[in-house]
Amino acid sequence: MAKDKLDILFEMQNSLDKEIEITRNLGGISKDVWIQKETLAMLSELAELIDEVNFKWWKNPKEIDENKVKGELIDILHFFMSMCLKMGMTAEEVYNIYVEKNKENFDRQHGKSEKSGYSIEEFNKSASK
């Protein structure tokens, strides 16, 4: 059976993580510390991303470099996949949980969820007041 692209990306990330752990002598770090470090790294990448898209309303806008934006998004994906791997998640599990959560998010928007406060009908009622 052929591997899908997400499986391949997870394998690539796993190889990179293992190499970094070995070459940087990072063995023995607990899962929670890894998640903390990777969350901070992801926050750093998110800050780099926001800098690329003119969020500073007090500064003259610059032309957006789409390649830089795409590069920052991939950096964020690296850390996201690394955290998934640290939690023992496979590409298939990420896919399945995503599909389930995506359905729930649509249900929320359409007022079909047990969680309130999301439906567009509620939004339209409050917006028309």
Q: What is the pLDDT of residues 45-70, one digit of tens each?
A: 999 999 999 999 999 999 999 999 99
DSSP string, 41-104: HHHHHHHHHHHTTT--TTS------HHHHHHHHHHHHHHHHHHHHHTT--HHHHHHHHHHHHHH
Minimum mean pLDDT among 10-14, 55-59, 77-81, 116-120: which range?
116-120
pLDDT at 6: 97
Measured CA distances, 120 to 79, 106, 114 (Å): 33, 10, 15
Please provide the CATH number assigned to the domain covering 1-89.
1.10.4010.10
pLDDT band of 119, cuts 50, 70, 90: confident
pLDDT at 1: 67
The alpha carbon of residue 59 and the mean position of all alpha carbons in its chain are separated, in whole angstroms, by: 28
User: Model-level pTM?
Assistant: 0.86
Domains of the chain by residue range: 1-89, 90-129
